[in-house]
Structure 1
Amino acid sequence: MRTLELGVFMPVGTNGFLMSTTAPRYQPTFALERSIAALAEEAGFDFLFSMGKWMGFGGRSGFWEQTIEPVVMSAALAGVTNRIKLFATINPLLFHPVVAAKMIATIDEISGGRFGVNIVTGNTLEELEQMGVVPEGYESFRYEYADEWLTVVKQLWTQQRLTHDGRFFQLTNCVCDPKPIQKPYPPIISAGLSDEGLRFGAKHSNYQFVGARPEKVDHVKAFAAEEGRDLKVSANMLIVAGSSDQAAHDRFERLLDGRDNEAFDNLIASFERDNRDSSEGRTSFLRNPRMIGFGTGAPIIGSYDTIAEQLAQVATDAKFDAIQLTFIDFIDDLKDFGRQIYPGLKARLARHDIRLGQDVAASARAAEHA
């Protein structure tokens, strides 16, 4: 029996992921993130995923003009949640591997073994260039840097002491205790879409996020098989729900009416400054005039029953192991998802011999206490 996990892409930046002046307007606060976490846990979601962003992209919507640091936020959320997994983004350029290893192990202990990290090698390097931390020629060796960084972190988690003489890091009889609760170490997530990025995930990661690109599922799993590994592949999707299909489509059209073209242009320009082979593929979806945000993947639009049916179809046809969701209004839409969509999705998946992750986890917990 297959398992499908559900995640929430946490809105850690201004206005979430929507570049539209007709979308809900808000700044990220811990009070908001805590409320979303509680609703997601109650609704049956498996994980909360937080990106790392260090600058905004303007426009009339003020897209991401404020952002919350994801590692600190995840540590705080660990104290107000009970079972949901917490994934936070780390860029290796910003944290020495020994410091990162200690931080991650600490949050793993705080959360009772529910923490994981998303490794990002750059995305929009402009964010890091403003800090002066990007080495010369970094674009040509970013994954080599991340590979050595993560190898060092994993060794610190699994060895009593580490001496390492590498291209980028030198450690002498270095210790990092205590070790993480999760063995051999907390989950690793990555989201690169180039072959180089997919191979990095195949070597190191437990989850590979591929947006709304089902063709990447078999691709990255084949790379993982070459490494003698398996990993879970997750999609990203925006939920646009309404009381009827027409109401949902009307809701989407209202967002399009306020599309912030300036913010889109600024984000595209930032991507293209990296001058990577994958830049065109990473920006092509942003050029679609019916795209209304970043990280939203393919929008799923319709009534509650339609949403449940379409999500079940995606899970069945594309064979994703997880689907990460974004929403227009994270509070009201999450409430509706838990009450109106989750039960229908669960029933539809069962017909295809697919169980939702929390049902599997609940069964495992019951077995432990039997």
Structure 2
Amino acid sequence: MSTPARQLHLGAFFFGVGHHLAAWRHPDVDAASATSIESLRAWARIAEAAKFDAIFFADNVGLSGSPAGLLTKNALPYPFDPLLLQSALAGVTERIGLVATVSTTYLPPYHLARKFATLDHLSGGRSGWNLVTSGSDFEAQAFGLPHQLDHAHRYEKAHEYVKVVKGLWDTWEDDAFVQDKETNQFFDPARLHRITHAGKHFQVRGGLQAPRAPQGYPVFVQAGSSDDGQDLAAATAELVFIAQQTVEDARAFYQSLKGRLANWGRTPDQLKILPGISPFVGRSHAEAQEKFEQLQSLIDPVLGVGLLSAFLGNVDLSKYPIDGPFPRDLPVTEGWQSRQDLFNKLAERENLSIRQLYERVAGARGHWTLVGTPETIADQLEHWFTTGAADGFNVLSPTLPHGLKDFAELVIPELQRRGLFRTEYTGHTLREHLGLPRPAHPLAAATRAAPSLATA
């Protein structure tokens, strides 16, 4: 029997009314649509009709501490709780995966475990958890802390957090609920496994009320590219979103991360790596370029500098001339270290000024921006996919829904024509879309060997 040809995985990343820094100012964009459930449902239906693997929502948990004069120029990107929002979208979709971002730093493990178990049941096995550790002081201050935890501490805590939530998701074996009315037995006590965890960061004893989820666990998603982030991803992640500007950098990251999996007893096919892309698609290159330049012309320089400052850990750039060289002496902060490294390398490699750097990254916050026809964009995606730089891509539409429609109606048919992307869903769960196994209950085999009346 022949092995099916490898195909791309695609995520649809919803972010406000589009990923471009000036998306809300575009004349065709309804700036209020990111807070309209009807609009969000419509966008989800577009993504599902195009057979995307999943919808993805990022998040942070606090209002930016930027001055009001800066905030007023920018659309708020995270108006809703992503888990509640994905639960709402579960009811108007049938097959597409639903990935929500939740921080391990500010939500107790029990809350997260119960919420994702609920989403997985509500959606029939389509949930994914994008694990973040949070990287800003304003988030910490929203939870009563003076500043964020240091980078290494956050990731150490995240490793333990994953152990706890897995234990909670394994409270019940898959067939624990016998519901035998004749014997008056609702569940088999031998198939109940309460967690007793005493660790450095968490002390947890108890169990979930919900049956084991359809997928066992939600798909584990991560986006950190620092050394700490890669170690956490190698240990826990099944889907990794990355920001890389060149195929060489993406290929090096791909090899580095997949090379760490063996240390955790894992194989390369157990983790999928999806670089982010922001595509400007036109039926001609001139049309695509016009779409790109129109949005670029709407960037407010104050916001552009503010974007760089935020990703660099709120470093003050005001003392540097905006058209002078990007400074090389900026401190490394406890914030998003992988993005700091990406911006520094990009500015150095291309000798960019502050203005040129924010113009380069404003479209997708550091992800790869493509401008072209369906054919030329498909050529580039195919090259990355077939040369060991990606297992697929996370699509960051510059505007919503327009950029999403362009990709769905123009690029995806070209990828399908080349046999690089599905024409129909073949599974029902997000794990099935991604070719990932459903995790077996770790104690089920031991239970089968034990006496049937063993107590929990």
User: Do the structures match in fold with TM over 0.5?
Assistant: yes
TM-score bucket (shorter structure) = 0.7 to 0.9
Instruction: Give the match for residue 153 of structure 1.
Output: 165
CA shift for structure 1 position 247 = 1.3
Say which of 113, 119, 143 aligns to 1:101: 113
Question: What's the counterpart of residue 227 of structure 1?
Answer: 264
Match of 1:74 in 2: 86
CA distance 1:95–1:235, shift in 2 (3 Å) = same
**Equivalent in 2, 27, 33 of residue 40 of structure 2:** 33
Q: Does 1:184 align with 2:216?
A: yes
Structure 1 SS opposite 2:276: strand
Deviation above 6 Å: which 4+ runs of structure 1? Answer: none
Whole-Å Cα distance in 1 between the matches of residues 30 and 361 of structure 2? 18
2:403, 2:10 → 1: CA distance? 15
Q: Write the deviation string for residues 52-77 of structure 1: whole angstroms up to 9, x where unpaired.
A: 13335636741426622111101111
Q: Hey, what does 1:329 align to over in structure 2?
A: 399
Residue 311 of structure 1 is aligned with which of 364, 381, 389? Answer: 381
Moved more, 251-260 or 50-59: 50-59
Root mean square deviation, CA, Å: 2.6
1:285-334 deviation digits (Å, cap 9, x = unpaired): 59523332344611111122222222222222344112110223322333
- One-letter amino acid matched to 1:78: A
Secondary structure in 1 aligned to 2:208? coil
Task: Sort the Cα spacing of 1:273 and 1:239 in 2 relative to 1 into closer, same or farther, 3 A.
Answer: closer
| 1:197-241: CA deviation from partner (whole Å, max 9, x where unpaired) | 011001011111112251211111011122121311111000101
- 1:116 paired residue among 121, 128, 146: 128
State how 1:240-259 maps to structure 2 within 5 Å. 240-259=280-299
Structure in which a larger fraction of residues adopt helix: 1
Alignment of 1:1-370 (within 5 A): 1-11=5-15, 13=16, 15-20=17-22, 22-23=25-26, 24=29, 26-27=31-32, 28-29=34-35, 30-53=37-60, 54-56=62-64, 58=70, 61-64=73-76, 67-133=79-145, 137-159=149-171, 160-172=193-205, 174-212=206-244, 213-214=249-250, 215-229=252-266, 230-273=270-313, 275-276=333-334, 278=338, 280-284=340-344, 288=357, 289-295=359-365, 297-348=367-418, 350=419, 354-356=420-422, 358=424, 361=427
Please give the per-residue CA displacement for 1:183-204, whole angstroms capped at 9, x wherever unaligned: 4311110111111101100101
Deviates more, 1:274-283 or 1:247-256: 274-283
Question: Partner letter of residue 412 of structure 2?
Answer: Y
Structure 1 residues 65 and 108: CA distance shift in structure 2, 3 A: closer
**Secondary structure of 1:268's partner?**
helix
User: Once the 2 structures are TM-superposed, how far is the Cα of residue 282 of structure 1 from its aligned partner?
Assistant: 4.6
Which whole-Å CA distance do the structure 1 matches of 2:95 and 2:365 have between them? 25
Of all paired residues, the percent bearing the same amino acid is 28
TM-aligned CA distance change 1:193 to 1:271, over 3 Å? same
Q: TM-score, normalised by structure 1?
A: 0.87
Residue 368 of structure 1 aligns with which residue? none
TM-score, length of structure 2 as denominator length: 0.72
Does the 8 A contact of 2:120 with 2:213 survive in 1? yes
Structure 2: 5+ residue stretches without partners: 172-192, 315-332, 348-353, 434-456
Q: Which has the higher strand share?
A: 1
Per-residue deviation, 1:269: 2.5
> Shift of residue 80 of structure 1?
0.8
Q: Whose radius of gyration is greater, 1 or 2?
A: 2
Question: What is the rounded CA distance, in whole Å, between the counterparts of 2:7 and 2:412 in structure 1?
Answer: 15
Secondary structure of residue in 1 paired with 2:105: helix
Q: Which runs of 5+ in 1 are unaligned?
A: 366-370
How many correspondences in the alignment? 357
Q: Partners in 1 of 2:149 and 2:9 — Cα distance?
A: 38
8 A Cα contact 1:107 1:115, kept in partner: yes
Paired with 1:359 and 1:38, the residues of 2 have a C-alpha distance of 14
Distance 2:414 2:263 in 1: 37
Equivalent residue of 2:217, what SS? Answer: coil
